[in-house]
Amino acid sequence: MLADVGHYTLIAAAILAFYSMCACILGARMRRADIVESGERAVVGLIFLVVLASGILLHALITNNFQFEYVSHYTSTTLPLPYRAAAFWGGQAGSMLFWLLVLSIYTAFAVVQNQARHRKLMPYVTASLAGTCLFFLIMLIFAADPFKKIFPVPVEGQSLNPLLQNYWMVSHPPSLYLGYVGMSVPFAFAMAALITGKLDSDWIKAIRKWTLFAWLFLTVGILQGSYWAYIELGWGGYWAWDPVENASLMPWLASTAFLHSVMIQEKKGMLKVWNMVLVIVAFSLSIFGTFLTRSGVVSSVHSFAQSPIGNYFLVFMGIQVALSVFFLLKRKKELAPEARLESFVSRESSFLFNNVFFLVICIAVLCGTTFPILSEAVTGSKVTVSAPFFNKVVAPFAIGLVLLTGICPLIAWRKASLINLQKNFLVPGIIGLTGVGILLAMGVYHWLTLIFFFSGVFVLVTVYNEYSKGTKARMAMVHENAPEALYHLVQRNRRRYGGYIIHAGIAILFIGIATSSFYRLEKDVTVPLNGTFAIGSYTLKYKDMQFFQDPHKEVWRATLDIFKGENHVGTLTPERHIYKNSEQPTTEVALRPFWNEDLYLILIGPDESGAGTFKVYVNPFIGLIWRGGIIMALGGLIVLFPDLKTKFAVSTASDRSAEEFAR
């Protein structure tokens, strides 16, 4: 019964989406504000219906309504409540509905927020968003129906994959979706600007925060995913260049490039076509990413079934890319730059390089990810590439990017002088080289580690310099004390100083990647009870093995003491669970972080004699990856924080001169 309501709700929503799209376009063409308005109202109705449909599915999941095929596949009566709710995005049909739900909430915000603004753009923005909703609705109705009924109604469901039953399943997918789906709003504005020919910086201003918001969630989502992989999966790593991981990285790269190049357009009126292209690419890649993960065209460890939704995605992507290219070509002349590049050594060109590097990495990742499909289409045999390919191709450009992160903010606009360069680069360069010297003295010789470390330190010093320069300027000119000056400095220019924090986070993250990748220790051992083994500077003693069970699972738990020299520094209890429902074993990693490295232990299994087999890793500085990530997120929040300045503060002459000076 409820399932039928859900199904018809989707059909009604599809009709509204179609109506809204047509009304907005026709209304704008005929210059009839009333028709446009009715289209926008239809969007509100559409959102209401999508929320209703999602509510029905969520309710069914939580109450174990096994009439729904989807519910019976992904939940069971013994599944804890948070996972029953998380099963919403656990399977194909549900995750598509979740995409749509997020999209309609974004659409609602975009329409309401801009009710009085951007009137010329809005009809097309609404139409584009409604069109995207329509696509997902059609797919849900015809190919991936979450409201499909099952008969006879099963007594018990198949439950959620035990590998997904952990905290990260609740927070990682929604973050990623908020990021992915967020790209549809900038895309809608870009299309509206192209269609109406209102190509000034209006549309750019309207979407700056949107893009950043989506970017922030994408960043957090990707990092959560890597952390999840690290602490739950028990292979000692956090990133495997799996197609699904790549699918989330590609839109991230494109949107990061856009967030940078958009500054050039605002300041200089250059790169207009380029920015359009980046927005279109970012959106296309997020659709493409959903397609990759959901259609099963690429064999990934994440995705398993061939599914009919692939064709729907192909058609939608075809239409979307064709329309984008058509309008882009049509407006090409009007998008001519207002200024020309004056010098090779200038901030403009360093931004351009940053963009080229981001895009080049994106293309490399795309090549590697789609290579199996392409090679099969061309030669008939499937050829795959794995992690070494990506590492090899991406590493040089990643080094370039990290270096640019340090260099870019230091180069003057238009044309930098030699003195300017010397003055700004000398100190960070010397400190960076000193750091490398220390590493060499410690016996770290891997050149990639050294280069990333140098670049990272360089960035951190330049960020510190920028902060101290700005703070000192304010202290001298506005006569504030240091914390006040620092606070006002950031608060009055959050985009710039928040951006620096993000850069510092990236630098720290890369130092973590470079050290942990090349200096990891790993070992497989089988030891008898009370036996010991050593790795790095640690000795582990295998003390105990317990077995117990609860209604859901059987648990093996080993207990090991960690010694560093003579000192007992901790205890590790790695576990192995076997779920009764599915006979699915899962490893519960035991992790002991030290200030400089993680000791990471997996229980492979006990044997009859009571001996235990373990896999153990020492991952140096791996924690920096996520600490850097948290710093990035904080920086993003600083930039996103609502603008209070424009409303309340009146800037004084001395405020302004302090800012000028800091520049």
Q: CA 29, CA 518: separation in Å to the nearest integer?
A: 60
Confirm or reject binding of residue 294 to another protein (CB under 8 A): yes
Confirm or reject binding of residue 232 to another protein (CB under 8 A): yes
CB of 246 to another protein, least distance (A): 12
By beta-carbon proximity to another protein, the closer residue of 138 and 385 is: 385
By beta-carbon proximity to another protein, the closer residue of 367 and 591 is: 367
Confirm or reject binding of residue 584 to another protein (CB under 8 A): yes
Residues 589-608 that bind another protein (CB under 8 A): 602, 604, 607
Contact partners, residue 535, CB within 8 Å, separation at least 6: 521, 523, 599, 616, 617, 618
Residues 202-231 that bind another protein (CB under 8 A): 225, 228-229
- β-strands 575-579, 584-588 pairing: antiparallel
Q: Which two tokens stand for residue 263?
A: 């500054």
Q: Is 522 helix (H, G, I), strand (E, B) or coil?
A: strand
By beta-carbon proximity to another protein, the closer residue of 233 and 444 is: 233
- Fill in the amino acid letter for 135: F
- Fill in the amino acid letter for 324: S
By beta-carbon proximity to another protein, the closer residue of 172 and 331 is: 172
By beta-carbon proximity to another protein, the closer residue of 32 and 392 is: 392
Instruction: Mark residues 44-83: x for contact with another protein by CB under 8 A, - for none.
Output: -----------------------------x----------
Confirm or reject binding of residue 534 to another protein (CB under 8 A): no
φ/ψ of residue 575, rounded to 5: -130, 160
Binding range to another protein, per CB under 8 A, among 195-203, 388-396, 505-513, 643-651: 388-396
CB of 309 to another protein, least distance (A): 10
Task: Return the residue of 154, 269, 536, 585 that touches another protein, per CB under 8 A.
Answer: 585
Q: Which helix (H) or strand (E) holds 601?
A: strand 597-606
Q: CA 20, CA 40: separation in Å to the nearest integer?
A: 7
CB of 247 to another protein, least distance (A): 8
Residues 101-140 that bind another protein (CB under 8 A): none
Q: Which two tokens stand for residue 113?
A: 């927020």
By beta-carbon proximity to another protein, the closer residue of 45 and 337 is: 337
- Determine contact, residues 247/180, Cβ cutoff 8 Å: no
CB of 121 to another protein, least distance (A): 32
CB of 606 to another protein, least distance (A): 11
Binding range to another protein, per CB under 8 A, among 27-35, 205-213, 382-390, 640-648: 382-390
Task: Return the residue of 393, 439, 489, 662 that touches another protein, per CB under 8 A.
Answer: 393
CB of 533 to another protein, least distance (A): 14
Task: Return the residue of 45, 269, 396, 536 that touches another protein, per CB under 8 A.
Answer: 396
CA-CA-CA-CA torsion sign (333, 337, 338, 343): negative
> How many residues appear in the chain?
663
Task: Return the residue of 293, 471, 516, 619 that touches another protein, per CB under 8 A.
Answer: 293
Query: Residue ranges of the alpha helices (H) in 120-271?
Result: 122-142, 167-182, 184-196, 202-233, 243-268
CA dist list (Å): 544 to 238, 276, 528, 561, 566: 29, 62, 10, 10, 20
- Determine contact, residues 503/459, Cβ cutoff 8 Å: yes
Alpha carbons within 13 angstroms on the beta-carbon side of residue 417 total 3
Residues 322-361 that bind another protein (CB under 8 A): 340-344, 346, 349, 352-353, 356-357, 360
Residues 607-636 that bind another protein (CB under 8 A): 607, 613, 615
By beta-carbon proximity to another protein, the closer residue of 346 and 493 is: 346
- Fill in the amino acid letter for 639: V
Q: Is 560 helix (H, G, I), strand (E, B) or coil?
A: strand
Residues 410-429 that bind another protein (CB under 8 A): 415
CB of 25 to another protein, least distance (A): 33
Q: Is 442 helix (H, G, I), strand (E, B) or coil?
A: coil
By beta-carbon proximity to another protein, the closer residue of 231 and 490 is: 231
Q: CA 535, CA 104: separation in Å to the nearest integer?
A: 52
The footprint of another protein on this chain (CB under 8 A) covers a number of residues equal to 80
By beta-carbon proximity to another protein, the closer residue of 117 and 414 is: 414
- Give the position of tokens 């959050």: 494
Q: Which two tokens stand for residue 516?
A: 């942990």
- Determine contact, residues 561/532, Cβ cutoff 8 Å: no
End-to-end, the C-alpha distance of the chain in Å comes to: 65
- What is the chain's alpha carbon radius of gyration, rounded to the nearest angstrom? 27
Q: CA 467, CA 486: separation in Å to the nearest integer?
A: 8
- Give the position of tokens 């359009």: 276
Confirm or reject binding of residue 200 to another protein (CB under 8 A): no
Q: CA 578, CA 587: separation in Å to the nearest integer?
A: 9
Residues 149-188 that bind another protein (CB under 8 A): 158, 161, 163-164, 169, 172-173
Confirm or reject binding of residue 256 to another protein (CB under 8 A): no
Task: Return the residue of 77, 78, 115, 386 that touches another protein, per CB under 8 A.
Answer: 386
Confirm or reject binding of residue 647 to another protein (CB under 8 A): no
CB of 234 to another protein, least distance (A): 7
CB of 608 to another protein, least distance (A): 11
Confirm or reject binding of residue 92 to another protein (CB under 8 A): yes
